Amino acid sequence: MNIENKPLIVVENLCKGFEDGEVLKNVSFTIREGDLASIIGPSGCGKSTFLRCLNCLELLDSGSISIAGVTVSRRPGQVPDEKMLDIAHEIRSEVGMVFQSYNLFPHKTIIENIMLAPMVVKKQGKDEAYELAMKLLDKVGLKGFASKYPSTLSGGQGQRAAIARALAMNPRVMLYDEPTSALDPELVGEVLQVMKDLDAEGMTQIIVTHEMKFARDASDYIIFMDNGEIVEYDDGDILFTTPKSERTKAFLRHFVNTGVA
Amino acid sequence: MKKLGLFLAIIMLIVSSACALQAEEMKELTWGGDSEGGFPYMFPNPQNTDELIGFEVDIVEALAEQMGRKPVYVNNAWENLIPGLNRKLYDISINGLEVTPEHKDVVNFSIPYYKTYLQLAVRKNDNSIKTLEDCKGKKVGTLKESFAQELLEEVGDIDIRTYNVEANTYEDLANGRLDAAFFDHPIALYSAGFNPEIKFVGPEVGELEYAIAIRKEDKELLTEVNKAIVALRDSGKLREIYDRWNLWTPTMAAEFNDYSPSKIEASRYNEWAEAHRPHLTFAKRLDRYKDALPAFGRAAIVTMQVSITAMILAITLGLTLAITRVFAPKWVASIATLYIEVVRGTPVLIQLFFIFYGLPSIGVKFSPFWAGAIGLGLNYAAYEAEIYRSGLFAIPRTQWESALALGMTRWQAMREVILPQAVRVVIPPITNDFISLLKDSSLVSIITMVDLTKAYGQISATYYDYFGPGIIVAIIYLLLGLPFVRFARYTEKRLAAVDKDGKYGHRENIYRSSTRYI
Ligand SMILES: Nc1ncnc2c1ncn2[C@@H]1O[C@H](COP(=O)(O)OP(=O)(O)OP(=O)(O)O)[C@@H](O)[C@H]1O
Ligand SMILES: [Mg+2]
């Protein structure tokens, strides 16, 4: 953690609901450049929705999100216009996202998966995109898998390829939604290691995870969400040892009891 | 050398335009008939299935000559001859059309050119049946929904068996499945007159008059045709035709008031009888099938042309419909949905009839080929649209989201990620659809096209044989479809290899609703 770093993401009074009701209720939150934040919380509390709002896969209902100086804000009931949608698109190109099920493009090889967005979105030349892709594959330890199809990869390899694909767009921040939940336990470590490496390089990252040990050891701070609200966020050790809220205590107790953490 | 070539070209131009002029001077007389109308009326020549022969063909030719016109044949299914006439497919129609009150309501008829009666036939050794009355309690075969059937019903107490194909009736009579057969005399004569196992019994029953149908408004043409018929009768030309076809009967003698003996040989009938005496050797049959192959070949090309044209239409329109359903505003999408439901909910046969016979009444007229291709194309478009749509939804929404999350626009995500995958998903079902379109194309035979199915009917009617040609035509259909069957299998296999993950399955209409604001 580096106190002097300036805020990279500022979220204020973010609200988001679906047909069946409110999911995020007045969420406010700041993250500084280079930080690694973990989000924990019970199932259905809105963690995924929060991440998806951050990169505008879901457009917020009201509030404002500011990422690297680009701000999308919406008043309650405001109908989104072209300009808001353009900003949403701009934010998406600044943010890399990694999903639980990796979502590689099955009709393309690993290297093509990584080259696609730089070529299509940034209009990079083929050679340039290839070089970058190879560099990223090397970084995530998949150099030998460039011409393989996603269906032939193991879960851990697939997830590392998905991280490389997101990195190819040179994002300011990486979001991960339970990146290791679909993996066999012995494959979890290799993916977490990639995130630790990225943290060492100064990448800003937000990770929704159930890996309590990783959250505690690697994160600059941990966000505990419950029922669509951020209940508390703090340094990992502090939050785990002396949680302020009863809800946090209950949640952590549950994890200790089931032996996950 | 070059100059000589130019000179020749100019000469040829002059000669050919002169020819064209000459052809133009001779007015055409287009006439509608059914090449499957049956013997001896009109049928493909067994020796050369491209040539239409029959006593009515001879009559039309004599008639046209008398009128100083050039006869041009237009083929149509028998039951559609009169609608086709009113749709102006041809000037006149002739094919055993009876002068009935229903017909007279919609068209005019010339004076009759032939008059005949119904003929009872029984097995040679059966002496129990001499008249219709004797048929009580017996099994009698006749043509479906014919005048003969009506008469049999009037007698009552007869076990009537109706047939679509007269040849089958006489076969059943010969092998004892029927006790008698009751048909128009010309049909009876050409079906069994030469069969040693069958004899004709009883008096002439009923009265049938055949005449030429002409559109109500063509009054002048009617007069012209009537004059020509009278002239042909008076010059003895009609009688010659009937003699040649062995159709000069006492009824006709009374009708034409001409009791003189025949002067010419029944050459056409004799040829027919010779060719159709039962028990053809297998080798002879094979020979015939070989003769029919070129006709089947040409018909197969027609079938392919119609099917491919229809499929191109179906694929293009289907894609438009699918994209409309998925992406357009709700009310536009619902028009596409309505189209799909209506087309899928009504028989394609009705759609073809409507396009070919119905639309001309509001001034939209297609050639048989285009009516067939458009009819099948519009029909299959509805099915293709649903395939595309399910293809789009077969791609999991997470693919769409990861593409967007990488900064792609909606259009880029569609083009680079969704469509390439959707195409793989839809190729096998579309190929399968093409195979069924190939088979459904047999329906165009009812709008006057000579496709494989029509050729089967024609050739079988000619040879009196539905067995061998049936097998041949089935094999041709199979061979035409085979490459597509293989292709569908191949793509299915490839697809299965790529989608090992098996995480497919769709959620709501993601392209319209949840990404509306993205
Ligand atoms: N697209 C959507 N439409 C309607 N409701 C949704 C949608 N996405 C999420 N929800 C609802 O929002 C609530 C929060 O869901 P979310 O996926 O954000 O929870 P989560 O904290 O990620 O849970 P988990 O740990 O199980 O992944 C749930 O009740 C869910 O049903
Ligand atoms: Mg979630």
pLDDT tens-digit map of B74-88: 988 888 888 889 888
Contacts 24+ apart (CB under 8 A), B24-29: B26/B68, B26/B69, B26/B70, B27/B68, B27/B69, B27/B70, B28/B69, B28/B70, B28/B71, B28/B72, B29/B60, B29/B63, B29/B64, B29/B67, B29/B69, B29/B70, B29/B71, B29/B72, B29/B91, B29/B92
pLDDT at B109: 93
Handedness of CA B375, B376, B379, B385 (dihedral sign): negative
Q: How is residue A153 annotated by DSSP?
A: S
Q: Residue A167 class from Cβ within 10 Å (0-12 exposed, 13-18 middle, 19+ buried)? A: buried
Spatial distance between the Cα atoms of B188 and B184, rounded to a whole number of angstroms: 6
Whether the predicted pLDDT of B70 surpasses 80: yes
Low-confidence ranges of chain A (pLDDT < 70): 1-4, 256-261
- Provide mean pLDDT across the span B511-517: 39
Diameter of chain A by CA atoms? 55
Chain B residues with CB-CB distance to A150 below 8 A: 501
Handedness of CA A219, A223, A226, A227 (dihedral sign): negative
pLDDT at A256: 67
Using the structure block, give the residue that is written with the tokens 């699918």.
B322
Q: Helix B282-327 to helix B419-440 angle, to the nearest 10 degrees?
A: 140
Interchain contact, A120 vs B500, CB within 8 Å: no
Q: Which of B375-379, B489-493, B503-507 has the lowest mean pLDDT?
A: B503-507
Question: Hey, is B492 helix, strand or coil?
Answer: helix
Spatial distance between the Cα atoms of A186 and A195, rounded to a whole number of angstroms: 16
- Provide mean pLDDT across the span B430-439: 91
A59 touches chain B (CB under 8 A): yes
pLDDT at B281: 67
Chain B residues with CB-CB distance to A89 below 8 A: 407, 409, 518
Chain B residues with CB-CB distance to A116 below 8 A: 406, 416-417
Whether the predicted pLDDT of B48 surpasses 70: yes
Interchain contact, A99 vs B412, CB within 8 Å: no
Interchain contact, A120 vs B399, CB within 8 Å: no
Interchain contact, B408 vs A120, CB within 8 Å: yes
Whether the predicted pLDDT of B257 surpasses 90: no
C-alpha torsion B216→B222→B225→B231, nearest 10: 150
- Provide mean pLDDT across the span B34-51: 81
- Among B406, B410, B419, the residue to mutate for chain A (most A Cβ within 10 A): B406
- B410: part of which helix (H) or strand (E)? helix B410-413
Spatial distance between the Cα atoms of A230 and A46, rounded to a whole number of angstroms: 10
**Taking CA B50 as the corner, what is the angle to CA B45 and CA B54, rounded to the nearest 5 degrees?**
35
Bridge partners of residue A182, in order along the sequence: none
Kindly report, residue by residue over B192-249, the tens digit of the pLDDT: 888 878 889 888 888 888 999 999 999 999 999 999 999 999 998 999 999 999 899 8
Strand pairing report for A70-74 and A95-98: unpaired
Bridge partners of residue B213, in order along the sequence: B93, B109
E strands present in A89-209: 95-98, 173-177, 204-208
Interchain contact, B517 vs A120, CB within 8 Å: no
Spatial distance between the Cα atoms of A12 and B253, rounded to a whole number of angstroms: 108
Whether the predicted pLDDT of B514 surpasses 50: no
Whether the predicted pLDDT of B46 surpasses 80: no
Nearest CA among B224, B169, B220 for reference residue B195: B169
Q: Residue B504 class from Cβ within 10 Å (0-12 exposed, 13-18 middle, 19+ buried)? A: middle
If one counts every other C-beta atom within 10 angstroms of the C-beta of residue A88, the result is 22
Spatial distance between the Cα atoms of B95 and B81, rounded to a whole number of angstroms: 8
- A190: part of which helix (H) or strand (E)? helix A185-200
Whether the predicted pLDDT of B6 surpasses 70: no
Kindly report, residue by residue over B463-486, the tens digit of the pLDDT: 767 888 899 999 999 999 999 888
**B496 band by pLDDT with thresholds 50, 70 and 90:** low
Interchain contact, A151 vs B501, CB within 8 Å: yes
Interface predicted TM-score of the whole assembly (ipTM), two decimals: 0.93
E strands present in chain A: 7-18, 21-32, 36-40, 62-67, 70-74, 95-98, 173-177, 204-208, 221-226, 229-234
Kindly report, residue by residue over B102-155, the tens digit of the pLDDT: 888 889 999 999 999 999 999 988 888 888 888 888 999 998 777 888 888 888
pLDDT at A258: 58
pLDDT at B454: 87
* pTM > 0.80: no
Strand pairing report for A95-98 and A204-208: unpaired
- Among A103, A152, A154, the residue to mutate for chain B (most B Cβ within 10 A): A103
The H-assigned helical ranges of B257-367 are: 267-276, 282-327, 330-345, 348-353
Using the structure block, give the residue that is written with the tokens 């679509």.
B164
Strand pairing report for A36-40 and A21-32: unpaired
What is the overall mean pLDDT for chain B?
84
Spatial distance between the Cα atoms of B175 and B194, rounded to a whole number of angstroms: 16
Whether the predicted pLDDT of B382 surpasses 60: yes
**B272 band by pLDDT with thresholds 50, 70 and 90:** confident
Instruction: Specify the residue with its C-alpha closest to ligand 1, atom 5.
Output: A18
**CA closest to A85 among chain B residues:** B518
Q: How far is the CA of A211 from the centre of ligand 2 (A)?
A: 14
Q: Kindly report whether the peptide bond that precedes residue B250 is cis, defined as omega within 30 degrees of 0.
A: no
Whether the CB-CB separation of B273 and B196 falls below 8 Å is answered with no
pLDDT at B91: 92
C-alpha torsion B259→B261→B264→B268, nearest 10: 70
pLDDT at B335: 94
Interchain contact, A57 vs B518, CB within 8 Å: yes
CB-nearest to A121 from B408, B498, B514 is B408
Nearest CA among B2, B90, B93, B89 for reference residue B42: B93
- B8: part of which helix (H) or strand (E)? helix B2-25
Bridge partners of residue B98, in order along the sequence: B210
Ligand nearest to the CA of A42: 1
Q: Residue B239 class from Cβ within 10 Å (0-12 exposed, 13-18 middle, 19+ buried)? A: buried
Kindly report the nearest CA distance between residue A58 and chain B, in angstroms. 8
Instruction: Specify the residue with its C-alpha closest to ligand 1, atom 20.
Output: A44
Q: Which two tokens stand for residue B362?
A: 């509001």
Q: Residue A80 class from Cβ within 10 Å (0-12 exposed, 13-18 middle, 19+ buried)? A: middle
List A residues 116-145 in contact with B (Cβ-Cβ < 8 A).
Answer: 116-117, 120-121
pLDDT at B12: 47
Whether the CB-CB separation of B449 and B372 falls below 8 Å is answered with yes
Spatial distance between the Cα atoms of B50 and B357, rounded to a whole number of angstroms: 26
**B14 band by pLDDT with thresholds 50, 70 and 90:** very low
Ligand nearest to the CA of A46: 1
Q: How far is the CA of B466 from the centre of ligand 2 (A)?
A: 68
Q: How far is the CA of A18 from the centre of ligand 1 (A)?
A: 9
Bridge partners of residue A224, in order along the sequence: A40, A232
Whether the CB-CB separation of A35 and A4 falls below 8 Å is answered with no
Question: Hey, is A130 helix, strand or coil?
Answer: helix
Instruction: Give the CA distances from residue B156 to residues B137, B152, B159, B481, in Å, rounded to whole numbers and listed in that order.
Output: 9, 7, 9, 50
Whether the predicted pLDDT of B16 surpasses 70: no
Q: Which of B164-173, B379-388, B497-506 has the lowest mean pLDDT?
A: B497-506
